[in-house]
Amino acid sequence: MSEGKNVFDSSNLVVYVYRWRKPLIAVTLAAAVLAAIFSAPFFITPKYESEAVLFPTTTNSVSQALLSENLGSDKDIMEFGKEEEAEQMLQVLNSDEIRRRVIEKFKLLSHYEIDPNSKFKQTELFRQYSSNISFKRTQYMSVVIRVLDKDPQMAADIANYITAHYDTVSGRIKKERAKEALSIVEDQYEHLQTEIQKMEDSLKSLRKLGVHDYEAQSAILNEQLALAKIERQTAVAKELQEQLDLLAEYGGVYTNLRDQLVYLKAENSTLRKKYVEAKVNLERSLPYKFVVSEAFASEKKAYPTRWLIVAVAMVGAFLFTLIVILVVDTLKTVKVE
């Protein structure tokens, strides 16, 4: 049996590798040295990682959380938010407004060394932003803000800036809605006040005519009229009849206005509560987050992981060299046969 056939026997693979140990070791070591060199800070800028951890709140509506009529609400202002609130937090953190604020505050176009005259500067800027700044929801429904940067303090500052301005952006979004809600309630409240004032003025005019309480007056006058007729007091009976005729003419109007006014005042009370709530929601707010941990400047770089790069390079070089040797040996064997 030829030497080539012995070489390719799978049971002798270890022997085969041992036979070619020198080139395999040489190439593997060379790959390790090159990987170590090209993963050095001179070639790959090291980056430091900072993280901030937040929990969303269940509610940040002051009226819903604190005003007396809502004390039976199932939302606890001290409770951490669940999946829905965490997803909403992620949407805000990934918003264009947050990204724009961070880019402007930290001058990232310059910091990332992007050519300001480049045709695709925005594309490159957004790509760098996305690769260095990320947001992730954890299994505990918290949200992690993770920032990578060549400057460890910059990484921490960016993470903490996003943490601080999450409330600002969330507040702006919700206050726009609160402002519109207040405007609607205010218009309705003022309109209702006007209607109530008109009805009270009408009732005041009817009282000047002598209509104060239709049911009570009618009952008393009818009783007195009956007594006057029995006692044959014609003048008194005539006067009482005139008062009853007045009540008959205006009593229906009085009763209708009085009942409507009672209803509108009840509506006014409810609407005033809503007005107060809308005003409070616009002028005051609770925090939109719980800060579990703030970011700090890392002392150790997170990228690149040099030992991993070297290890992968060594394994890759070893396998590639082994395959090349096997292919070359196989071709030699075929030619010999």
Q: Sketch the domain layout of the chain as residue ranges.
A: 1-44+304-337, 182-283
- Residues 141 and 81 sit within 8 Å (Cβ to Cβ): yes
User: What is the H or E stretch that residue 134 is in?
Assistant: strand 133-137
Report the distance separating Cα 164 and Cα 196, nearest Å.
Answer: 47
- Residues 122 and 129 sit within 8 Å (Cβ to Cβ): no
Query: What radius of gyration do the chain's Cα atoms show?
Result: 42
- Residues 304 and 42 sit within 8 Å (Cβ to Cβ): no
| 18-40 CB burial, b ≥16 within 10 A, e <16 | eeeeeebeebbeebbeebeeebe
pLDDT one digit per residue (tens) for the chain, 337 residues: 444 444 445 456 777 777 888 888 888 888 888 877 776 666 667 788 999 999 988 765 656 555 555 544 555 566 777 888 889 999 999 999 999 999 999 999 999 989 988 889 999 999 999 999 999 999 988 999 999 999 999 999 999 999 999 988 988 888 888 888 888 888 888 888 888 888 888 878 777 777 776 667 677 766 676 776 677 777 767 776 776 767 666 677 777 888 888 888 888 888 888 887 777 777 777 778 889 989 998 878 766 666 777 788 889 888 888 888 888 877 777 665 5
- Sequence-separated (6 or more) residues with CB below 8 Å from residue 287: 57, 60, 167
Report the distance separating Cα 60 and Cα 284, nearest Å.
Answer: 10
The full length of the chain comes to 337
Picking from 322, 334, 323, the residue whose alpha carbon sits closest to that of residue 4 is 334
Per-residue pLDDT at 193: 85
Per-residue pLDDT at 19: 80
Task: Kindly report the pTM of this predicted structure.
Answer: 0.63
Exposed/middle/buried for residue 1 (C-beta within 10 Å: 0-12, 13-18, 19+): exposed
Q: Work out the number of other CB atoms within 10 angstroms of the CB of residue 204.
A: 9
